[in-house]
Amino acid sequence: MRFAIIAAITLSVSSPAFGKAVKPVQPLSAEYIGKTMIVETKVTLSDVTRANFDKLEAKAAEKRAEAGLPVVAKDFALGERPKPDDYSTLPIVQMFPLMLEDVAKERGMTSGKAVRIAVEFDSLKTANAGAAILFGSNDQLAGLVTVTDAESGKIIGEYYVDVLNQRNGLLGLALRGSGVREKLAAEFSKRLVQTLSGSKKKIKGDS
């Protein structure tokens, strides 16, 4: 019991930034780094954690209904571009491309060689409150990103992006707040764009 208490306290005071990684599987060559613009983003969800995705997609649909917005099917193309405030009401396959485009524009990826991005998310997990209080838990969004030259159709890069945020104790959960899926997707986008643009600028939360 004493060990459990010590472990819980130790984990509770540890840093909330548990681990973030962009691992190159096939790195972009220098001719592409910082010289591309994203013309298309496609998202697929792996079956491995389908249940976790479905749970959060249902919450997004609830938010959409509460806001009085029309229902959006996952395989349905969006007409008018939604406002950023409404992103949280969209399924992740439609929300993520919008977020990525916004971040890419902010970081100046508006000209250069046209690239297509394909993301296969294979993990979306949110911290469990009970576990967070007892021994710590985490939020995670991870996936494999494939970068294709839009002109030649050739795969020019492949990266695995993993955003893992540790949440310990009540304080950790309180600091996290709401909109976990959106926060994870935004951080995933920032890390990906940082890699594609070759930017050395620090991302909030990095030590």
Applying CB under 8 A, the residues found at the interface with another protein are 3-4, 7, 18-21, 23, 25, 48-49, 52, 122-123, 125, 128, 131, 134-138, 140, 142, 144, 160, 162, 164
Residue 48 or 175: the one with the smaller Cβ distance to another protein is: 48
CA neighbor of 49 nearest in space, from 118, 121, 119: 121
Residue 146 or 199: the one with the smaller Cβ distance to another protein is: 146
In whole angstroms, how close is the CB of 110 to another protein at the nearest point?
29
Q: Where are the beta strands (DSSP E) in the chain?
A: 17-26, 36-45, 113-125, 137-149, 155-167
At 15, which amino acid appears? S
Handedness of CA 92, 46, 202, 16 (dihedral sign): positive
In whole angstroms, how close is the CB of 64 to another protein at the nearest point?
26
In a 13 Å sphere around the CA of 88, the CA atoms on its Cβ side amount to 13
Residue 18 or 35: the one with the smaller Cβ distance to another protein is: 18
In whole angstroms, how close is the CB of 80 to another protein at the nearest point?
35
Helix, strand and coil content of the chain, in percent to the nearest 5, comes to 40, 30, 30
Residue 5 or 58: the one with the smaller Cβ distance to another protein is: 5
In whole angstroms, how close is the CB of 81 to another protein at the nearest point?
31
